[in-house]
Structure 1
Amino acid sequence: MLSSISPLGERARNSRWWVTTTAYLVGSLAGGLALGGLAALLGSVVPEGVRSSPWVLGALALLLLVGLGYDSAPGAQMVPSWRRQVDVHWLDEYRGWVMGLGFGAQLGFGLVTIITSATTYGVVLLAALAGHLGAGLAIGAVFGVVRALPSVFMGGVHDRAALHAVFVSVERSAKTARIIARVTLGGAAAVLLVAAVGS
C-alpha cells in the first residue's frame, strides 16, 4: 500500500500526492486517537485500585513479554490479526483524499488491519491500564503518527528508479524498526514488573 501513495502513483490517478498523504496522516492520527481513547475509556471502567494492583500489573507485564517472545521467535510469523486492509479498489473508485483518509484511519486504529507486531496490542493494553482519557489519547496519537510517518519518504518518488530506492531503504530500516518495537515491549514490561514489585 505504501507504494500506491506516491507522486508517481497519484499522478497516474490524477490525484495530488500531498493531498492524499495529508489525508492519510490525518486519518492515521485520528485512528490512533480513537484507539487510545477507546481503550482508556474501557480501562476506566475498572477501578484504579484494581488496575494498579500487583496482580494486574504483573499479568500485563507477562502479556507484553509473551508478545515480545512471539515477535522475537526465529522464523516467527505475524501475530494473530485481521487479514485485511483497505480494499485496493478504493484506489480507482475514490478521490485520493478519501482513500488516504480511510486507509490512514484503519492503519491508525491498528486492530482493524493486518497487525505486524505485538506492539499494537501493547498500545491497547497500556492505554487501558492508564484508564485516563488524556493518557490514552497521547498513547494513541503517538502510535497513529508513527505508523503513518513512512509515507512521507515517498515524496521524492517520481519514477520507478526512485520507487525502487525507497523500497530498498525501507527494507534496510525494517530490522531497526523491529528492534525498536522489541525494546519498547521489553521496556514497558520491565516498568510494569518494577511497579508490581514496588506496590
Structure 2
Amino acid sequence: MTSFGMFAAISPVVVVAALRSTWSPCGLSVASTITRIGESGRGRSFAPTALSYSIGAVVGGAGLGVLGTALSQSLRWMGLSESSGLALSGALLLLAALADIGAIGPALPHIRRQVDERWIDEYRGWVLGFGYGCQIGFGLCTYVMTTGVYLVVALGAVLLQPPQALLIGLVFGLVRGAVVWLGATISSPADLDHMHARFAALEPVSRRIAPASYIVAGLGCSGLGFGARPEIVAGVSAVAAVGGVVVAGLTVSRARRTEVLAFRTQDLALKTEGLAQPSQGRAPRTSSQGASR
C-alpha cells in the first residue's frame, strides 16, 4: 500500500480523535467564548477572531505533525518494514481503544490544563483566537480526552512518509479549528443554552465512536500486517463502519428526542410558574372574612 493510501486509511481515525477532543472542558469553554454574541459584547467582530483561531489550530496541528515527521524519519533509518509498521499500528490502535474505555492506563482526561481565560479581556480578538487555536490544534497543551491524539503522532511515524506525517497533523488541527464556527449561529443566550444541551446529548455518542473506530482501524491494520488480502480487509472495515454509522445515528436520534423532551418539560414548567405567579401575592380568604361581609 502506498503512503498516500495509508494516509487515506488513517485520516478517519484522526478526524474522529479531533472531534472527540471537542468535548473537553477547554474545548467547550472556547466554543462558548468565541461566539457571535460573546464577541459582540466585547466590542469585537466574530469572524476575525474565529478565522485567527482556525489558522492557529492548523499551525498547532502542524506542530503535532512535526513530531510525527521526526519519529517517522527515525524509524525509516532503523529500517522498519511496511508489514511490521502495519502490525505495530494495529496494536497501537487496539491499545488506544482499551485506554479510551478505561481498561488500561491512567484514566482520561490526561494533561488537565485549560487555556488562560485572562487573555479574553487582555488581548485583541485575533491575538486571542490565534493563541487559543495554536494550543487547541497542537492537542497536547490542554485536556486530552482521547488517546487518539497520541495516535496522530504514532500512526504518522509508523505508517507514513515524513510529508504525509506532517499532513496528518494538519488534518487534526483543521478539524479542531473548524468547530469554532459553530459560534456563528449563537446570537442569544438561548442559542448558547441550546448548544450546550446538544453537546451534552452528543457526548456519550462521541465517547463510544472514538474507541470503536480505533478497533475497526486496528483490526484492519493488523490484518494487512499479517498478510490478509486488502480487498477483504476493506470489505470488513466498510461493513463495520456502516454498522457504526447506523448505531451512531440511532444514538443521536435518541439523544435529540431526550433533548426535545427536556426542553418541552422546561417550557411547561416555566408556563406553569407564570400562571401561578399572579396568585402568589393574594392572601387566602378565610371563612370568617367571608362572614363579616
Asked whether 1:50 is paired with 2:85, we answer no
Could you tell me the TM-score, scaled by structure 1's length? 0.87
- In the TM superposition, residue 85 of structure 1 has moved relative to its aligned partner by 2.6
Q: Structure 1, residues 46-103: CA drift from partner, whole Å, max 9, x if none?
A: 226325353x5434422321221121248x9414x32213211011111111111111
| Cα distance, 1:51–1:16 mapped onto 2, change above 3 Å | farther
Give the whole-Å Cα distance in 2 for the aligned partners of 1:138 and 1:88.
30
Q: How does 1:73-152 map to 2 (within 5 A)?
A: 73=102, 77-79=107-109, 81-152=110-181
Give the letter aligned to residue 189 of structure 1: G
Query: Which residue of 1 is the match for residue 224 of structure 2?
Result: 195
Asked whether 1:4 is paired with 2:19, we answer no
Give the whole-Å Cα distance in 1 for the aligned partners of 2:80 and 2:227.
15
How many residues of Structure 1 are paired with residues of Structure 2 in the alignment?
196
**Structure exhibiting the larger radius of gyration computed from Cα positions:** 2
Unaligned runs of 5+ in 1: none
Asked whether 1:21 is paired with 2:50, we answer yes
Give the whole-Å Cα distance in 1 for the aligned partners of 2:172 and 2:210.
11
- In the TM superposition, residue 131 of structure 1 has moved relative to its aligned partner by 4.5
Q: Is the 8 A contact 1:19 1:97 kept in 2?
A: yes
Q: Structure 1, residues 14-45: CA drift from partner, whole Å, max 9, x if none?
A: 22111111111111111112211331222211
Match of 1:181 among 185, 203, 210: 210
Give the whole-Å Cα distance in 2 for the aligned partners of 1:57 and 1:156.
42
Q: Is the 8 A contact 2:65 2:165 kept in 1?
A: yes
Q: Is the 8 A contact 1:44 1:131 kept in 2?
A: no
Secondary structure of the structure 1 residue equivalent to 2:216? helix
Match of 2:98 among 64, 69, 75: 69
Q: RMSD over aligned Cα, in angstroms?
A: 2.2
- In the TM superposition, residue 157 of structure 1 has moved relative to its aligned partner by 1.2
Q: Is the 8 A contact 1:41 1:131 kept in 2?
A: no
Q: Post-superposition, which runs of at least 4 consecutive aligned residues in structure 1 deviate over 4 A?
A: none
Give the whole-Å Cα distance in 2 for the aligned partners of 1:51 and 1:88.
46
Could you tell me the TM-score, scaled by structure 2's length? 0.61
Unaligned runs of 5+ in 2: 1-28, 229-293
Higher helix share: 2
Match of 2:191 among 162, 178, 181: 162
Q: Structure 1, residues 132-181: CA drift from partner, whole Å, max 9, x if none?
A: 23211321122112223222111121221110011112222223323332
